[in-house]
A and B are shown apart, each in its own frame.
Chain A
């Protein structure tokens, strides 16, 4: 230091300023430390098991360079079981906001390399912070889930953290879209929250959702069940209906969720996005004249009809493997996003069954909440569109168009005349609440 005298070179001066490393250097060191997360070995293991790291997933999901991270230096506050010595910056979840197709989204990405992605109190607070911000500004929340569940060392604090997240899932439902990607073996508390969100995508062979794994199931019920049958992507996409989209790998899951967001409004007070369509509104398709067989008993594929009608043949089907006698999904008409609910005559002659109705109903509810246009393709040759006072009273901004392609009998035809259906249900004492 300049203050030390040249005659006493060995004397160590003790001004405090000289002992402090440059604040910028400290920041850089901390940022580098946060990037290490669970360490290179665990990241390698993540890659070897066909998974990406949390940061790689965010990179793929957000528009390039748009992600802004919050709470990078948050650590847990647990002192039991030697946890005070085990702190990793970020605490196992990366949170923040970014853009998808130029539109704002809030997201959290669980990092399996840090404490197995397990949830601590601090970790839950990070997730709650982005959920609160998303609701405050009216933008979707996307969860990239890869977590073994509660952090056992934190006990009840971890469980309370889950409850805080669940409460926000419920409050945000119908206000902003909530999307979940299951990208690892998620068990216990780690799946209750995604299960409450609007759309869930799973990845083949690497993602699982269960209350508890096969080992505990065996211990409790003595039943032998494989991981795949208990909570694999196919089980949830085709049988339980928990998963809406099943993708072969993480990249396609992330890109499909980006695509899904492009059909959704940012919140329940906003209209879905409009794009300029390169597909002319007056485009005619002669193949449609002969696509539907005249004989009422002959089947045809409703999906082909849908693809020929919508903009550029692009149809994002939701739950394609679940209840295949009904087809639901999103597409665009004249550049505007629409939801489609259609009978599929190619499967079970398109007849309603409990599961089928179950699939159509949540989508309709979501469309209503999000003020989405809806198109119903049914089987009888009659088209109507435009305002219908009775049906539209409670959601004036949702536009509906129904396309009857061939047959529609019983309740099927009633669905096109909501007042008639309501009258009928009332006669049977079935209507419990006014719609």
Chain B
């Protein structure tokens, strides 16, 4: 919701944010289905994969490294950060292509 790609102007994330297709447990069950099925100790293997996934994806830094998140902020500064961004955007002007109506269900 409201990502850069649907034209949000500024995107912040808390350090606790997890920005990925799905949570670590669900994702590991899909990506490593075969490895888990063949393993003698599936729980230990699962824990290792979950840890790997979490480090790689379940944090705000993957999105931040691509510039999808502009800034990872300390939660205590949230109010100040948002107000600063809104101030910066005060004179924003953006035009859409002219059209007769919006995206209606057909």
Contacts and interface: CB of A to CB of B under 8 A. Distances in A.
Interface of A: 14, 16, 19-20, 23-24, 26-27, 30, 68-75, 97, 104, 122, 125-126, 129, 133, 136-139, 266
A30 B15 CA distance: 11
A138 B88 CA distance: 10
Interface string B75-98: 000000000110011111110000
A133 B9 contact: yes
B38 interface: no
Given A136-B94, A137-B91, A27 B74 contact: yes
A41 to B, nearest CB: 25
Main secondary structure on B side of the interface with A: loop
Nearest to A133: B9
Interface of B: 9-10, 14-16, 44, 47, 50-51, 54, 59, 61, 64-67, 70-72, 74, 84-85, 88-94
B65 A16 contact: no
Contacts of B67: 71, 74, 122, 125-126, 129
A28 to B, nearest CB: 9
Contact of B61 (A30, A97, A129): A30
15 contacts: A14-B44, A16-B47, A19-B51, A20-B54, A23-B14, A23-B15, A68-B71, A74-B64, A74-B65, A122-B67, A136-B89, A136-B94, A137-B91, A137-B92, A138-B93
B88 A68 contact: yes
A23 B16 contact: yes
Contacts of B92: 136-137
Given A30-B72, A137-B91, A137-B92, 15 more contacts: A14-B44, A14-B47, A16-B51, A16-B54, A19-B51, A24-B15, A26-B59, A27-B15, A30-B61, A68-B71, A68-B84, A71-B67, A73-B64, A75-B65, A138-B91
A136 B74 contact: no
A27 B85 CA distance: 20
A50 to B, nearest CB: 32
A97 B88 contact: yes
A341 to B, nearest CB: 30
A384 to B, nearest CB: 36
B78 to A, nearest CB: 13
Contacts of A70: 10, 70-71
Contacts of B54: 16, 20
B9 A73 contact: no
B10 to A, nearest CB: 8
A175 B15 CA distance: 37
B13 to A, nearest CB: 10
B89 to A, nearest CB: 6
B35 to A, nearest CB: 18
A133 B66 CA distance: 17
A71 B74 contact: no
Contacts of B66: 74, 122
B48 to A, nearest CB: 10
A137 B89 contact: yes
Contacts of A27: 15, 72, 74
A70 B85 CA distance: 11
B15 to A, nearest CB: 4
Contacts of B71: 68-72
> 8 nearest interchain CB pairs?
A23-B15, A73-B64, A27-B15, A70-B70, A23-B16, A75-B65, A137-B91, A71-B67
